[in-house]
Amino acid sequence: MEPEKRLEIFQKNIESDNNKELRECLWTARYGKRKPKKDLFIGYLMEMKYISESGSTDVGGAKRKQLSKIINNLCIDNYEILSEEQRGILKNELKNTFKKFIQVSRGGRGFTSAVFGLGQLSDEGIAKKIAEQISNIAFLTPHMFRMDKEFKILQTAALEAYREEYPNREHFLKK
């Protein structure tokens, strides 16, 4: 769902919501305080992708610090103290982020082409390529820095989003 539509629904229902503060915090963390222009959560996923591609060498702990900052920015740093309902809200927000990532990837010409923009990948090939990206972001990066526990909710959200978009292709994911 587009950010503008989400903002409209958010503003319409915010007053009757028991979790108003959490939803406002997530909205601000993802889109900023003003009218939504870019999805910051997608940016954090891309940061994790770049970290995984650059290897596990972490001189001075800079990558681990960057991952800690991402944990904070994704609002998953206090996951343990949230109520069950709030955990569900957070997981759905992260799942929505991964669905957006899948949608953007699936629609990108550079992503779906075989070699140098020539030839198109099959649906199966696209599913494999997206699974590889999600595996690197949600599973490999946290594992390289022994932060699986901190990213557990992100991993669950990624898995659920991929299952919904590509049923019966979960075996492409490297967990």
The answer on pLDDT for 1 being more than 80 is no
CB of 151 within 8 A of CB of 79? no
pLDDT tens-place string over residues 78-107 = 888 988 998 999 999 999 999 999 999 888
Q: Report the percentage of the chain scoring pLDDT > 70.
A: 89
Question: What is the model's pTM?
Answer: 0.84
